Amino acid sequence: MNKIKNIGVLTSGGDSPGMNAAIRAVVRAGIYHEVEVTGFIRGYEGLINNDFVNMDRKSVANIIQRGGTILKTARSEAFNTVEGRKKAYDNLKANHVDALVVIGGDGTFRGASVFSKEYDFPIIGLPGTIDNDLEGTDFTIGYDSALNTVVDAVDKIRDTAESHDRLFVVEVMGRDSGLIALRSGIGVGAEAIMIPEANMDVDDILHKLDHSRQDKSSKIIVIAEGDEAGGAFAVAEVLQKKYPQYDTKVSVLGHIQRGGKPTCMDRVLASRFGVAAVEGLLNGERGAMVGQINREIVFTPFDHATKHIDAEKVSSTWLKLIDILSF
């Protein structure tokens, strides 16, 4: 194995708060260890289109606190084709880039896995997604920030719900994973939550509401966008019929959950991951995602990291907690 002299870095898939902190850490760690760093624009598209910038220390100054990603991000159809990956590889070679750090979620890592095997190319992944749905790390970059954005928004909704004796159905992100709904639901003091992992239907919610305090002046149901029950509006319709005494409203939080300044936790996590990714590559790690389990840095092979976690077990503890707290 030759010494790595130039590391490429890119962000791919949906953006998440803390991606900039991760880019900064990769660049600073690279320079610290006397490696050049090349930033590719719009994820794998940048590899294919040879769209890149040379990163120096100043290029990542004053970005640790910024939402989004200065390298931009995209989902790349072309990278799923043999031809696209061939172009990407040729461009990496031409630019003397001999390793990659890819920041993103499971889609990003599946692409990285194929590419790294196809061309025997060293790649380390950084978990950058608000969904926290990856094996191999307790937390992904952006999850904590998204949770706080949800909590801030629902605190505002609680103000108006309390004033008007309203029942609110709040839809949060999480197409395949209810983790955002679960944690934020506890954080906002929700009366009930609906998540894909729990196989709940509206009757379960009705049952819970029937058994919660009837003297509450407001009720908040947090629902993951991917829940099977058919979306916040459908749930709200059923609830409105059942509880005519409440004025039922829907709030879909949407894309505000992806943006905003990262929290301290996400900045620290991203900083630590970025340094670990570079040092991992230099120590021969490849084809793996860097993560943090029980506060220690661990590397998990891409194929294992992208297996969706079994939330069933996790969620039952938390769902019980919500039952107790909203009692």
- Enumerate residues 146-175 that contact its own copies by CB under 8 A: 147-151, 153, 155-160, 162-165, 168
Rule CB under 8 A: which of 111-150 touch its own copies? 138, 144, 147-150
Residue ranges for the binding site? 14, 24-28, 75-76, 105-108, 129-131, 158, 166, 173-175, 189-191, 216-218, 225, 249, 255-258
Cβ nearer to its own copies, comparing 144 with 197? 144
CA-atom Rg of the chain in angstroms: 22
Q: Smallest gap, in angstroms, from Cβ of residue 179 to its own copies?
A: 11
Residue ranges for the binding site for ATP? 14, 75-76, 105-108
Are 105 and 174 spatial neighbours (Cβ–Cβ below 8 Å)?
no
Which position among 82, 215, 244, 313 is part of the footprint of its own copies (CB under 8 A)? 215
Question: What span, in angstroms and rounded, lies between the C-alpha atoms of 86 and 276?
Answer: 28
Rule CB under 8 A: which of 279-298 touch its own copies? 294-295
Query: Binding of its own copies at residue 207 (CB under 8 A)?
Result: no
Question: What span, in angstroms and rounded, lies between the C-alpha atoms of 135 and 301?
Answer: 10
Report the chain's terminal Cα–Cα distance, integer Å: 60
Rule CB under 8 A: which of 173-202 touch its own copies? 183-184, 186-189
At 93 the three-state DSSP class reads: helix
Q: Smallest gap, in angstroms, from Cβ of residue 70 to its own copies?
A: 9
Rule CB under 8 A: which of 223-282 touch its own copies? 249-252, 254-256, 258-261, 263-265, 267-268, 271-272, 275
Rule CB under 8 A: which of 4-23 touch its own copies? 11, 15, 17, 19
Q: Smallest gap, in angstroms, from Cβ of residue 277 to its own copies?
A: 12
Residue 153 sits at the vertex; the CA angle it makes with 152 and 157, to the nearest 5 degrees, is: 120
Residue ranges for the binding site for Mg(2+)? 106
Cβ nearer to its own copies, comparing 28 with 286? 28
Cβ nearer to its own copies, comparing 135 with 287? 135
Question: What span, in angstroms and rounded, lies between the C-alpha atoms of 100 and 80?
Answer: 17
Query: In terms of C-beta density within 10 A (0-12 exposed, 13-18 middle, 19 or more buried), how is residue 302 classed?
Result: buried
Q: How many other CB atoms sit within 10 Å of the CB of residue 217? A: 12
Cβ nearer to its own copies, comparing 11 with 113? 11
- Exposure string of 23-59, with b = 16+ CB inside 10 Å and e = fewer, is bbbbbbbbbeeebbbbbbbbbbbbbbbeebeebeeee
Q: Smallest gap, in angstroms, from Cβ of residue 196 to its own copies?
A: 20
Q: Smallest gap, in angstroms, from Cβ of residue 317 to its own copies?
A: 9
**Tokens coding 35:** 């490696």
Rule CB under 8 A: which of 71-90 touch its own copies? 72-74
Q: Smallest gap, in angstroms, from Cβ of residue 267 to its own copies?
A: 4
Given the residues 98, 131, 133, 227, select the one marked as catalytic: 131
Are 267 and 21 spatial neighbours (Cβ–Cβ below 8 Å)?
yes
Q: Answer yes or no: 227 catalytic.
A: no
Q: Active-site residues: which are they?
A: 131
